[in-house]
Structure 1
Amino acid sequence: MLDTILDLTLVIDIGKSHAKLLLVDDFGAVLEQHGRKNAPVGTALGYSALDIGGLTDWICSTLAASALTPRCARAIASTHGAAFVGITADSLAWPPMDYEFDSYADQTSALHHAYQRQRDGFDVTLSPDLPVGLNAARQLYWLQHSHPDAWARTETLLPYPQYWAWWLSGVAASEVSSLGCHTQLWSPDRQDFSTLAKAQGWADKFAPLAPAWQVLGCVRPALAEALGLPLSCQVLVGVHDSNACLARYLSSTAELTVVSSGTWTVLMAPDAPTASLDAQHDMLCNVNVRGQATPTARFMGGREFAALLDGAPADLGTLEDAENLLRSHTTALPSFAPQGGPFMHRTGEVWRAGQAVALPTLAPAERSALAALYCAQVTAWLVQQLRPSATAGSTVVVEGPLAHNRLFLGLLQALLPGHTCYASIDAMEGTARGAWMLGRWSQPTVSQHLLAAPAYRLDGLREYHTQWLESCLAGPTVAA
């Protein structure tokens, strides 16, 4: 019998709202893809947690049923940020915490005030103070002091992508793209743990650092047998999802901003000045897979887009609908999601001709166009904040769902006349593609599959956007 050809990479891509398994060949083609919704679960400790149990069952059953599993030469995980896992020698020490649990940042609690006194400032971590558990250090502090028995079981701390690498291989490692993702655990300039992480003893508990592309070892034999994976299947360290998306562009010499869209819309500007970062507008430094500080801005674009759609199809709006919004002075003022973003302290409002209106009173096509226009406006402003001195040759690349929304792309280009905007038209989303590329980090970069954004011209857009921005910056009660 002929030996099975090992030519596939297993990509485990776990986002906040959806999880995917992809089996990708050596040419970058997706031969098989599976998905499931992802949501937090309750725990006996009284907090919401990541659904590791449900995801594990799904991964196991999916791989065991696939005829392609025996062809996997390597496996790599890419996950959302603000997620860390504590383990014992062979199991979870406690249910891993969901960053949207709302008690982490209860500002009336003694724990909140104690954390605020002890955490490092923005000048050290380049991470602003964020809502709920978006600063992962706050999660660890809360658990350590609220559930000391659970904390006492912790032998090793792992970022979420590296939990899956440990589950597969039995080898524990940490990686900088998750440690440096607005955690207040890491100092990007020093490339070391923050003072808080060291003082609390967390730094000593984290598994040793390793590059995202490093091979940790092979899949544990018992697990390989149960899932049908080859015993020789190599497990890579893994990566934070937005940084996986960015990794494929790190060799670019252009003045580049990458817009990675999904539940979060994350803008990353390699080599942009850190001096332009404004913590009050949720700007921060991520750390890329090479360990380099990467100026970043973001907002919860996927949720805000969905809120403004209010059930309308995402691609229903047209250029004519957008022009009608401008003529009728219909505008959406932020924010339609409470977790983060440049205008996180505002409550979302829709105005028409100086009067507040309810979303259901707008036609579906209007809501679709308004969602695209709003997200394009926030994105454009953040691009300009990250690169205030951008040259005429600056490039913006949009990845993820927004890359498939023609109206959003055209409006973004119209709002950024000094930039050239592109959409990634890769059949595989940027986070998964970046993870796949990390499995061949030393090999030549594949083509980026970029399409230029449409060149829209909208009369009155500049004035409309100026008034919108003035209202956003003035305060939550100012009408458009």
Structure 2
Amino acid sequence: MSQTVAVFDVGKTNVKLALFDEGRLLWEKSAPNRVLPGPPYPNEDVESAWNFFLDALREVALTHQISAIVPTAHGAAGALIGESKLAAPVMDYEFAGVEVIESDYARLRPPFSESLSPKVPAGLNLGRQLAYQKWRRPDLFAKARYFVGYPQYWAWRLTGVAASEVTSLGAHTDLWAPLQGQVSSLVKALGVHHLLPPLRRAFDPLGPIQPDIAALTGLAPETQVFCGIHDSNASLLPYLISRQAPFTVLSTGTWVILMCVGLSLDQLDPRDDTLANVDALGRPIACGRFMGGREFAVIAGGGGNPDLDAVERVIGSGAMALPCFSDQGGPYAATKGIIRGEVAAHDQTALATLYCALVGDLMLTRMGATSGDLIIEGTFAGNLAFCQTLGALRPKQRVFAAEDVVGTARGAAMLAHWPPSYPITAPAPVPAASISGLDAYRDAWTAAINSIARRATNA
């Protein structure tokens, strides 16, 4: 029987339970994450996720002795909780109906200079979700005792202990002032300060699991639960303790989050969807984001990864994917994506790969991230053509790829023994590649998107 850390990883697309022993993945199981249509608004299917979690714990407890549980979850989700259950459903951040309050909310939003949180669509600013719940569903809001980030909701459900935590509060919520290390002026303006429980660190133990959960799962009653962390920040943890700044981690999945450690915040521009997230130690980190995983799927129309020959065929054809293929994230979210030219069906994944590499390169340049290593983790780390194309676009920076797709969960597991005493597995260097015609193609692609942006501005 081994001592293990169980990580409950709630992503936008999937929920997962993963077990680790000193950084080694022992076991994992996943299921699709669902959104319910409402009423009162589209919301996270927390009960399905919870039942998956309990079933998976019950299954794995037969063969492993779990010593700790760490939750991690995607950003832009938060929970209004009452004495013993949710006071209101956890809003799906893609609920566009939340924007009906925008004119009132805009008067309360702190300036970007305070929050370093750009205005983003739908419910991606967690503060907008909270304002909507207060103003449009006062019947539910009145039942709330606390408002917590999504990782901390799962910690509360396991322990009964409510906590606030900076990586969740600082993830483009409008609720945090990163440079001051405190809640923003929005908290007072919205009148919700009383709903925020005491601030705890991501690696703080909140207590043991509740007795009924121990009985349901077969876990030991003394199993500790840790406060938990925003998922992109979990991906960053292994590199914060094993590398010297500057460096950039590209955490890839449904979203591509570019986290530039050691970079000045001076070039952040809310119009580009660049911002500051806050790491587990409370420090602001320059970040950019675009919905790369979803855009890749739209352009590619199917699965699989291309080779560089396919990328060169697309370049040679002159065909281009021009942003944006999602209505959320990145500097061109307000423009509708188009594909110019013809691409063979078997080269659509190459077109999608080239597009995502170009958007990543564009955002890194605009942020001023021109030095330091680039580390790709998550889904795109398994796409060698993406890694090599990004490297060819940025030849002065070394590119590395994490060799597994559980970087978020692996980073979260570290919180149970922080700082970890075991060695951190280094990502693999990506071999450099020369890609014929890439520089000229980037120039033409950039000119095309600039033209689209000018037309949109003048419309």
Normalised to the residue count of structure 1, the TM-score between the two structures is 0.92
Q: What stretches of structure 1 move > 6 A for 4+ residues in a row? A: none
Alignment check: 8 A CA contact 1:14 1:79 kept: yes
Q: Is residue 70–residue 230 contact of structure 1 (8 Å, CA) maintained in 2? A: no
Q: Deviations over 1:300-342 (max 9, x none)?
A: 011001011112x321x22111111111111110100111212
Deviation at 1:369, TM superposition (A): 0.6
Give the structure 2 partner of residue 55 of structure 1.
Answer: 49
Amino acid at match of 1:72: I
Please name the residue that 2:314 is paired with.
Answer: 325
- Contact 1:399–1:423 at 8 Å: present in 2 too? yes
CA deviation map 1:18-65 (0-9, x unaligned): 11101222x3222221100112112232x0011101111111122223
Gaps of 5+ in 1: none
RMSD (CA atoms): 1.6
Aligned to 1:12: 8
Q: Distance in 1 between matches of 2:387 and 2:219?
A: 41
Structure 1 residue 66: Cα displacement:
2.8
In the alignment, is residue 436 of structure 1 matched against residue 425 of structure 2? Answer: no
The AA in structure 1 aligned to 2:355 is: Y
Displacement after TM superposition at 1:85 (Å): 0.2
Give aligned-pair identity as a percent. Answer: 37
- Secondary structure class of the residue paired with 1:399: strand
CA offset digits 1:389-427 (Å, max 9, x no partner): x34xx10000001000011111010001110000011x3
Any stretches of 5+ residues in structure 2 without a counterpart?
Answer: none
Please give the alpha-carbon distance, in whole angstroms, between the structure 2 residues aligned to 1:422 and 1:22: 24
Match of 2:334 in 1: 345
Which residue is 1:461 aligned to? 438
Deviations 1:272-316 (A, max 9, x none): 1111101101000001111101010010011001011112x321x
1:122–1:279 CA contact under 8 A, matched in 2: yes
Q: Deviation per CA, 1:247-277, whole angstroms, max 9, x where unpaired?
A: 1111321310000000000000122111110
Question: Which of 96, 100, 104 matches 1:102?
Answer: 96
Distance in 2 (alpha carbons) for counterparts of 1:196 and 1:284:
17
1:257–1:383 CA contact under 8 A, matched in 2:
no
| 1:423 match | 401
- Work out the CA distance in 1 between the residues paired with 2:346 and 2:158: 46
Q: Which moved more, 1:199-208 or 1:81-90?
A: 199-208
Tell me whether 1:269 sits opposite 2:260 in the alignment: yes
Indicate the SS of the match to 2:93: coil
SS at match of 1:276: coil
Aligned length: 455
Would you say 1:237 and 2:227 are equivalent positions? Answer: yes
Partner of 1:407: 385
Amino acid at match of 2:390: L
Q: Does 1:138 align with 2:119?
A: no
Secondary structure of the corresponding residue to residue 364 of structure 2: helix
SS at match of 1:267: strand
The counterpart of 2:280, out of the listed 248, 272, 289, is 289
Q: Distance in 2 between matches of 1:428 and 1:407?
A: 17
Q: How does 1:43-82 map to 2 (within 5 A)?
A: 43-45=38-40, 47-68=41-62, 71-82=65-76
- Tell me, yes or no, if the aligned pair for 1:8 and 1:72 is still in contact at 8 Å: yes
1:153 matched to 2:143? The reply is yes
Of 352, 373, 378, 2:354 maps to 373
Provide the secondary structure at the position in 1 that maps to 2:171. Answer: coil
Superimposed CA distance per residue, residues 91-122 of structure 1 (whole angstroms, 9 cap, x where no aligned partner): 1101111100110114xxxx221111111111
Cα separation, 2, equivalents of 1:443 and 1:464: 44
